[in-house]
Amino acid sequence: MKKGIAASKGYAIGYVSIKENEEIIITNDKVKDTKEEIERLVKALDISRTQIEEVKQKAFENMGEEKAAVFESHIMLLEDPEFVGAIKLEIEDNKTNAEKAVSSVSGTFLSIFEAMEDEYMKERAADIKDVSNRIVLNLLGKVKSLEIQEENTVLVAEDLTPSDTAQLDKEKVIAFLTNIGGRTSHSAIMARTLEIPAVVGMKDITSLVKNKDFVIVDGIEGNVIINPDKETIKIYEEKAKEYKKEVEELKSLIEVKTSTRSGKRIDVAGNIGQPEDVNKVIENGADGVGLFRTEFLYMDKDKLPTEEEQFESYKYVLQKMENKPVVIRTLDIGGDKKLSYLPLPEEMNPFLGYRAIRLCLDRVDIFKVQLRALLRASVFGNLKVMFPMISSLSEFLKAKDIVEECKKELKAENIKYSDSIEWGIMVEIPAAAVCAKELAKHVDFFSIGTNDLIQYTLAADRMSEKVSYLYEPMHPAVLSLIKMTIEGAHGEGKWCGMCGEMAGDIDAIPTLVEYGLDEFSMSASSILGAKKVILDQE
């Protein structure tokens, strides 16, 4: 038995097909005619664009609009003046061959994105790697394809790119295994979308198996059994049947309103990063959107989004949710999330520095554009707005003063906005949790951001392998701060939600229900499982 990381739940029993990596040899040869080399690059970019359009169509057919949208960002990267411009400059200035120039520039971009903590940004690293690899293959005249002919195939690879997973035929590929990756890697996310089992981070699975080996994939425990005996096969066939039954039972909860056995109503909401993500939240029967991370509207761009662009995005989500609550977080840039067109100061501790609400209160010009867009969109649904990284009451009151300025401007322009918007804060700094009782007198709600709250409380970077063992959601200090926050809200008759990873943790949910948490917000794929656990609580 070989152990890895369970990235997508389920069981599969089938035959191995190893994805051979296309050999890419890039030389350091210099070119004489830079103009001709740039023409080669432009041709490869055009071919890549056509291929990605085809992949996008396949993704739409196999996985729906939300995942197909990933390939819009691939096309945008091909047209990104900063990315393509840097490649052309490398060719012109250093007479670098096109393959080497693409590799060098994408390597620089990759190192930046891979160092980031945010899951979405790590996905972007996979996108950059995928696109640059495609460009190089086209420059070399090689074909990039992943055709699986046999049914009951367990695909085994070093890693799978977004393009690879988008092209997988679910009728033939029943699971996949990779040497590298984690639960938040792009291949893992795609596997969950396709609803096929996956075990990743196996280190050497490509060398342990050979084509046509018979394997059992346990996507629950993260185990792989190579060439099992008949008795083991029988055991896992039963497990697969049981799991399938559980999945069907969970689907029956889509329309169910979640309450504990004692009758307390609890909302289960979804987190989104892009407007189109709302479709998956709706499919899983969410009671609302508990976190719309608006910073992603500012990324994949070469300038700040306009008020109109933001307005359309907020309006789209509010209308899709049909008056269910939508909690939108204002711009949370800084730390690991930076914008190429908005230079931020270099800091020793950027996660504790000039970011989120601190940046917005300083750059009121940027903040007001977003607030005006939010106010205008508020007439199209049930909007709630929260400010991130609040550490003191004065920050919240300053933000509210700017909101009032925006209201006056809109009123003078005869532009409508709703007077029933709730204004809250994200409790992710221990100071806010400790002062929850006082803050609750002024805010309309709290939403606990456990990802940062845990690491700030325990002084443990969850992305650091050396100290990850200290990152413990159920640590007494963390639980104490969570309880303090919930009690602080309830003491003033306000509601308290949670939008960090902990909200979807089935081991943590019973404790959070006991503490009186009113709303749990999580990734769309966790919603039904969370509903089931909550329904079983007293």
Q: Distance between CA 269 and CA 534 in Å, rounded?
A: 13
Determine if residue 355 is labeled as part of a ligand binding site.
Answer: no
pLDDT value of residue 202: 92
- The whole-number average pLDDT for the span 236-265 is 93
Q: Which of 422, 174, 396 is nearest to 290 (CA)?
A: 422
Is the pLDDT at 119 greater than 90? The verdict is no
Yes or no: say if 400 and 451 are a contact pair by the CB < 8 Å rule: no
* Residue listed under structure tokens 């891979």: 114
At a CB cut-off of 8 Å and minimum separation 6, what does 327 contact?
269, 288, 289, 290, 291, 292, 384, 385, 386, 424, 447, 497, 499, 521
Q: How many angstroms from the chain centroid is the CA of residue 241? A: 30
pLDDT value of residue 129: 85
> What residues does 420 pair with on adjacent strands?
none
Domains of the chain: 2-19+146-228 (3.50.30.10), 34-139 (1.10.274.10), 267-535 (3.20.20.60)
- The whole-number average pLDDT for the span 400-418 is 98
Q: Which two tokens stand for residue 351?
A: 């996660």
Is the pLDDT at 117 greater than 90? The verdict is no
Q: What is the dihedral of CA 449, 452, 457, 462, to 10 degrees?
A: 130
pLDDT value of residue 67: 66
Determine if residue 451 is labeled as part of a ligand binding site.
Answer: yes
Q: Which two tokens stand for residue 4?
A: 């890895």
- Top pLDDT among 297 and 430 is at 430
pLDDT tens-digit map of 164-196 = 877 777 788 999 999 988 776 667 777 877 788
Give phi and psi for 176, each to the nearest 5.
Answer: -145, 155
Yes or no: say if 517 and 266 are a contact pair by the CB < 8 Å rule: yes
Count of positions (residues) in the chain? 538
- The whole-number average pLDDT for the span 218-237 is 95
Q: If residue 101 lies in a helix (H) or strand (E), which one and from where to where?
A: helix 98-114
Determine if residue 376 is labeled as part of a ligand binding site.
Answer: no
In the chain, the percentage of residues whose pLDDT exceeds 70 is: 93
Residue 11: pLDDT band by 50, 70, 90 thresholds?
Answer: very high
pLDDT tens-digit map of 485-530 = 999 999 999 999 999 889 999 999 999 999 999 999 998 888 999 9
Sort residue 493 into left (φ over 0), alpha (ψ -120 to 50) or beta: left
Q: Distance between CA 406 and CA 37 in Å, rounded?
A: 51
Give phi and psi for 454, each to the nearest 5.
Answer: -65, -50
Is the pLDDT at 144 greater than 70? The verdict is no
Q: Which of 387, 509, 492 is nearest to 449 (CA)?
A: 387
pLDDT tens-digit map of 423-469 = 999 999 999 999 999 999 999 999 999 989 998 999 987 666 678 78
pLDDT value of residue 31: 92
pLDDT value of residue 344: 79
Is the pLDDT at 383 greater than 70? The verdict is yes
Yes or no: say if 272 and 289 are a contact pair by the CB < 8 Å rule: yes
pLDDT tens-digit map of 334-369 = 766 677 778 878 777 877 888 899 999 999 999 999
Give phi and psi for 181, each to the nearest 5.
Answer: 105, 165
Q: How confident is the prediction for the chain on average, in pLDDT? A: 90
Residue 130: pLDDT band by 50, 70, 90 thresholds?
Answer: confident
Q: Which residues are catalytic?
A: 186, 499
Determine if residue 462 is labeled as part of a ligand binding site.
Answer: yes
pLDDT tens-digit map of 69-91 = 778 878 888 888 888 999 999 99
Burial (CB count <10 Å: 0-12, 13-18, 19+), residue 61? exposed
pLDDT tens-digit map of 36-68 = 999 999 999 999 999 888 888 877 776 666 667
Give phi and psi for 15, each to the nearest 5.
Answer: -110, 140
pLDDT value of residue 121: 64
pLDDT value of residue 64: 66
At a CB cut-off of 8 Å and minimum separation 6, what does 414 contact?
none
pLDDT value of residue 77: 86
User: Residue 231: how many CB atoms within 10 A of its CB?
Assistant: 7
Dihedral of CA 280/286/291/297: which sign? positive
Cα distances (Å, whole numbers) of residue 247 to 235, 244, 389, 524: 19, 5, 37, 15
Residue 160: pLDDT band by 50, 70, 90 thresholds?
Answer: confident
